[in-house]
């Protein structure tokens, strides 16, 4: 009775040990996946940092343009004080400057809209990348499941061939005797 119990305990502990090894393999696989995803995230963060630098550069250019328009306004004010006798020419310059300001304003508005479009596209790209990561994880899981099934079928086939070989050997020995 005690030997039967010991055998049962041994089989139970072997089963537990096998399950622990399988769990360990799964944890190792998950750690690899996490490391890969962390690398992807780091790469995306680098891309975002680069884009932030580009946006900062654009903002600097816009600030420079605003400074240039401020300088133009000061020049116009100076002209008004210094050249009061040339009012007709001043009116022509004023019309010209207004057109330039409108053009600069239109260009600034266009740049702002482009920056907003780029930001929207980046958000869409990040969403697509996230979906691709999810799909890759599902594909990897499916491949791992398929590999496990193939391994299981291979083990079953090997076991069946062993039994067939043993039976053939015993039949050959019986026929030989």
pLDDT digits (tens, 9 = 90+) for 43-97: 888 888 888 888 888 888 888 888 777 788 887 777 667 767 677 777 887 888 9
- In this structure, are residues 111 and 63 in contact, taking their beta carbons and an 8 Å threshold? no
The values of phi and psi at residue 53, to 5°, are -65, -40
pTM: 0.32
Domain extent at residue 40: 2-176
Query: What b-and-e string marks burial along 81-100, b requiring 16 or more CB atoms within 10 Å of the CB?
Result: eeeeeeeeeeeebeeeeeee
3-state secondary structure of 104: helix
Count of structural domains, the chain:
1
The Cβ-side half-sphere exposure at 162, using a 13 Å CA radius, reads 6
């Amino acid at each position: 009775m005690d030997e039967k119990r010991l055998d049962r305990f041994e089989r139970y502990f072997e089963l537990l040990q096998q399950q622990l090894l399988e769990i360990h393999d799964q944890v190792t696989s998950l750690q690899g996946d996490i490391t890969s995803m962390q690398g992807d995230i780091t790469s995306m963060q680098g891309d975002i940092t680069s884009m932030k630098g580009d946006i900062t550069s654009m903002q600097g250019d816009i600030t420079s343009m605003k400074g240039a328009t401020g300088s133009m306004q000061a020049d116009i004010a100076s002209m008004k004080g210094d050249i009061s006798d040339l009012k007709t020419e001043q009116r022509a310059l004023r019309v010209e400057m207004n057109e330039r300001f409108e053009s600069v304003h239109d260009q600034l508005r266009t740049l702002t809209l482009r920056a907003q479009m780029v930001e929207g596209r980046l958000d869409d790209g990040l969403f697509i990348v996230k979906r691709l990561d999810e799909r890759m994880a599902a594909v990897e899981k499916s491949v791992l499941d398929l590999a496990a099934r193939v391994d299981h079928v291979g083990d079953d086939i090997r076991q069946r061939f062993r039994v067939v070989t043993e039976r053939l050997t015993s039949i050959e020995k019986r026929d030989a005797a």
